[in-house]
Structure 1
């Protein structure tokens, strides 16, 4: 925890500095008054507030700073845990040192905002000063970035919005933070960000009276601070630009091997931006890192920038983001995206033009999308549903229940009851097992996978670990998915970059990796092939929706594992037969028997496929690392309890697919 690691310094003639110092606060100029060979007395585990009589138990060290250490501190009467900044009196013996601590306490205790670390209490005894602060169990953004290396743009938007919210509150209180960096942004148990460490914070002064002391962390200092022109709100915005750059690319923009060169780059606002960074991200970083403070955006202008308005921001991040990249499959971002898409497609001319101008990412051959004038309710999806009703009267009906958004009129029970699901399981689960048509191709596929998996689980011995015998394999699997069945259907991307949509009427459409060829399945095994440019009129709207799914997943979702993909052209094309969601996992069953289950809470995955007449099981762990076994090997050797539990859950989902 870097909450304490900052101190003001006055630079003199020192030019040399080791590389690792550049990302640490400027404490290298501080002189230690105590004898380093003299060990400090051991601090008591039980600490008593002499004023209130409350007792606290000191726990593990959270961080170290120039003056103090930060510990977990538990109130023994309430069990409430605090982050306690403990400062020995011996370290603040000089008047100016004690004044600094008192100033920090006075400033911090008056702050109350959801994105500011909360100040609870302070007291002191004969040995130490104790400052009790809000405990953030997930440490800081610095720890997250150390584990992750880089963050995704949706995560960066999520964190930046909260930083800006807290920073705006500070500036409204006429307070400058003056040491914004990843180590001073703390994350609590619910993944809320809190701005902390006010050791260098100061009141905003008029221009002529501004502080001209150089303080902060070298890599995040602004040109005007280095040039001793004083601190203003613009200096915090500069540091925020450095923070954004660091989150996206894993290193600060002005990082070099020595302090002198770093300062030269900062004064010249000279840094490099790789082409991998999105256009909007580059533009926002460039504006915040403008050499002239007056050219930098205000905090309100930052959150109105296209980087925020043209990309989705998650409402909440899962705790797994602290150590692994998120899998943005939740429906809320998708809903926002498709809501805009639908408005552009089927709204008025102004909405179409505005959306097209803002999006700016589709290829020119997609411009025809924006010329569509059909009402979505009259699209081929609904038309084909009506057609199915009249053509298949001789077949027993399959009632669709429990899912919103089927594209038929709500008040027509007869239509709703007679719609056929040509590709079984369109909406994830049927109403009862009797309607699953077990003699269909889908039933045969599911039965085959189920028998093999059940046989393995019933005969597999108990074991504590994975078998030693593992193998390399390549097959198609789902790397990304979007559930938008309340309007259109279920979309997914395969590892060869084919995108498929299982529409709400039971038809299936795939956009191949060339982004030009479409495969359309109206019945199992019967495929129609056409290009996106020459789609039959009755399929134009479905192709449009398919493209939106493809674009959304390409721009916003990350791949779910490290498996390679080698397309075997001798095998039939993979397409989805059925999907099912529970409160714990997503199940997907494909035409060739490939069976995949994604677990939400830790992003682990199980994939079962048949290759060369042999069933294989691949397990992708929470770090997105895959391991493949023969089911025969698991049958003989067993596997870990964790994997067995997932296999049992997957089998139950397969058995319940029509319940």
Structure 2
């Protein structure tokens, strides 16, 4: 199924703010409108930039140049009907005039369209006219690792682990399907708006052949060629592994391992495996590079063995990188002590005189006490007696509560300080939530007849929990949100979850999805005070800066743990939230509409429209009676998004 978009304008997810917290308000600011004609009727479009599909009649507007190669140029292209943005590869017919040239392009198309993986650029469709062949691909708005490398020159080891894990996932998929990429390089690793890596450009890809029939053509990028390729001994999976090692070296050291001013010398160095390892690399990085860059292909580790190397198993890998890491060095160390947090809190909450009067005196006192407490502790407290630099060099990971707290403060002993529960059967995994919702939504849309309007809605479920406010501060701490019950929670970057009850008297802490501890707010253990400080700050920020995201009624909070946020994903058009009770919520940025999918037998679909009015429908009713184009397109987008996330 093709990606679906329904806005007349290309979208971009909000960028993090430069102050205090990141994106996440439900403000009414939209994207910049295109230049319009003097009559104000339609945007001005250059007719020479229009691309028309001769078969379907659909038209696309060719935008800026994204890149160029020997045979093709790649542009941004916007579907003039839906507003969806693609990356379109344009190949002049003159470049494929010879039969073998055309056959090569058709092979690339056939191969790429057969690939479906989260970390491989999605192939959408293709067509041709008299002048060109057009291949429409997934648009990756943050360009490629080559652009990041050009801006940064070197990356931190946690960043390299983050990207390489995704590259290896894509390569494992390819190799299992008997496909060799044969051109792994920074420019072929594309980065999405959500900072996910996608492997692309299959122009040199080939099927894996038996040892005696392997292709012996020298192809690829010189700095990343394996010795056996230069020696015409044939391509195998080991050649991709070698190129992966060259990519790792380039990201860590700032230049390819065998790069010289003379190409012949570069080839000589590759054949002799002659390179140097900078002394500033960690011992694990040095060992892994030496293991990969071996002259004999059979001596190199497999992709699975690379992932089992201590470089990956003992080093910190961020769950997500902030967008600022595309151009500047991100802060990937454990959160700084509360002294810096004190500055942010006071600047955000007390620095603006016009808002100061809105904060009640009692709240000012509470916040002052909070800040004072935070000065004595850290946002993510460390109990190590070593110097911070020494501890970071040894661990290179943000320590978990169990690793850093003294024995009496371990999660096991938290039960002695508050109530606890474990292994609740009601909690689902993110994969289960996606698969179940995907199945119900797929069945609904597959047989839905066309209709001009929605059927009569049901009464909105009394106990429907939904996210009314959210804020993304994952470049430092995590993702904060407020439920319709007024419970406020944070999913921290390291995976722990903490919530503050609606009456602000009870704190719920989940070190994992199946372990739950609760404490009176004035009896939270010392080792959790840092996380509680962040949670309180998020709560105060959302109360004073964000408006409620719709007119759905609030619900009374029940005793005990609420559903946990399992996963959140930001695309260029929407925010996806998955909860442990099976609820899926999707917030669309530009028009602030929302979809809340809850329950599976039957699936309930709650739609918050542009005017903030809310209607709830049963999926079987929509399947039988149909729905409006406005709702149908959003449901199709959610289906496409869930398919992408689940890899189906």
TM-score, structure 2 as length reference? 0.49
TM-score, structure 1 as length reference? 0.48
